[in-house]
Amino acid sequence: MSTFKAIVIDRNESGQSVGIRAFDEAELMDGDVTVRVSHSTLNYKDGLAITGKAPVVRRFPMIPGVDLVGTVEASSNPEYKPGDAVVLNGWGLGETHLGAYAEKVRVKGDWLIPLPQGLSPLQAMAIGTAGYTAMLCMMALERHGLRPDRGPAIVTGAVGGVGSVAVALLAGVGWHVIASTGRPEEADYLKGLGAAEILDRSELAGPSRPLAKERWAAGVDTVGSATLANVLSMTKYGGAIAACGLAGGMDLPTTVAPFILRNVALLGVDSVMAPKSLRIEAWSRIARELDHDRLAAMTSTIPLDRVLEAGREIVEGRIRGRVVVEIAG
Ligand code: NDP
């Protein structure tokens, strides 16, 4: 029997259990490409899967981990051959398909993209799903016709993974970035990523008015709930907010006032099922546009055996920036 090391979530009558164990290679799911994983990352969704706080995992046993970089070991897909460096995020990895916290994955070649030029494997996972989602948000704002000369851009959950990359990306192309956070002690960190102003998240936490003073033309929201409602109520005429997260809650207690009286747009962003062409565009733009020093400043690295503890920390909002998980050297 050939096995590899993995974090495995099991379920039995007494509930869900999670730990590191040897996983039988014969239990890998269908796919035409086998990848030896070098790095994965820790995303909010991974925290939800590990802690069982939300029903992210759809089959058991499950190996969590929604994104990875690695090297093709075997392939019957014409686009990939052994030795190719590849990146994968989403498509149900770690939810419905055995995921990335493992030395090995077997997946559909259509889910993979080549490691973008100019990025090391570690840098690609420092970006990870969070960073690629931040770029999808910025691209959605641009498709809406918004440019930095229209006024400030707000980023909520700014110290988190998506937030940190969004601050750096938006500032990098010239936006005046207002970073909203519950961690004022991280002001210097956020300014180092390019934030021009820090806003205490408590200002966006209470019940929102239908319309409030116009403060920003664009935004990336990772928090949802009352925070997004307040952000919308303060968006300038003709502005737009890209919404990708629910760190503060799944609900959205708003009114139609910003939409029908200020022509504000709410742009939904999903990274999991995004088409391949959009992924390739997003990843290659990040590779070109994200300042590598700022990326390094927001990144920490942990071994596989620290993931369970870090998964609990991320759902409690205690992780700063991006966490790379080192799987193989
Ligand atoms: P992180 O935990 O790294 O960041 C979330 C941040 O949100 C925290 O750091 C904190 O920022 C803020 N926050 C946490 N709890 C609350 C709260 N109760 N009220 C207000 N703010 C809060 O997670 P990620 O960056 O990995 O993900 C952010 C969100 O985006 C998640 O909801 C995730 O599921 C979603 N996401 C969605 C994707 C998609 O495809 N649509 C892809 C990737 C992520 P601070 O300390 O600065 O206040």
Written as tens digits, the pLDDT of the chain (329 aa) is 799 999 999 998 888 899 999 999 999 999 999 999 999 999 999 999 999 999 999 999 999 999 999 999 999 999 999 999 999 999 999 999 999 999 999 999 999 999 999 999 999 999 999 999 999 999 999 999 999 999 999 999 999 999 999 999 999 999 999 999 999 999 999 999 999 999 999 999 999 999 999 999 999 999 999 999 999 999 999 999 999 999 999 999 999 999 999 999 999 999 999 999 999 999 999 999 999 999 999 999 999 999 999 999 999 999 999 999 999 85
Query: How does DSSP assign 113-157, residue by residue?
Result: EEPPTT--HHHHHHHHHHHHHHHHHHHHHHHTT--GGG--EEESS
- Ligand 1 within 6 A of 248 CB? yes
- Ligand 1 within 6 A of 244 CB? yes
User: Whose Cα sits closest to atom 39 in ligand 1?
Assistant: 270
Mutate to test the pocket of ligand 1, among 162, 266, 269, 316 (most ligand atoms within 8 A of CB): 162
Domains of the chain by residue range = 3-115+298-326, 130-268
Fold of domain 130-268 = Rossmann fold (3.40.50)
- Ligand 1 within 6 A of 44 CB? yes
Fold of domain 3-115+298-326 = Quinone Oxidoreductase; Chain A, domain 1 (3.90.180)
User: Whose Cα sits closest to atom 18 in ligand 1?
Assistant: 248
- Cα 255 to ligand 1 centroid, rounded to whole Å: 23
Beta bridge partners of 325: 40, 302
Tell how strand 113-114 and strand 153-155 pair up: unpaired
> Which token pair is 319?
């992780």
- Ligand 1 within 6 A of 246 CB? yes
CA dist., res. 322 & res. 169, Å (int): 14
Which of 102, 106, 89 is CA-nearest to residue 307? 102
The alpha carbon of residue 27 and the mean position of all alpha carbons in its chain are separated, in whole angstroms, by 28
Q: According to the model, what pLDDT value does residue 136 have? A: 98
Q: According to the model, what pLDDT value does residue 329 have? A: 57
pTM, entire model:
0.97
- Ligand 1 within 6 A of 181 CB? yes
Amino acid at 83: G
Ligand 1 atom, smallest distance to 130 CA: 43
CA dist., res. 99 & res. 211, Å (int): 43
- Cα 173 to ligand 1 centroid, rounded to whole Å: 23
Q: According to the model, what pLDDT value does residue 211 have? A: 98
**3-state class (DSSP) for residue 165:** helix
- Cα 27 to ligand 1 centroid, rounded to whole Å: 33
Q: Is the dihedral of CA 140, 142, 144, 148 positive or negative?
A: positive
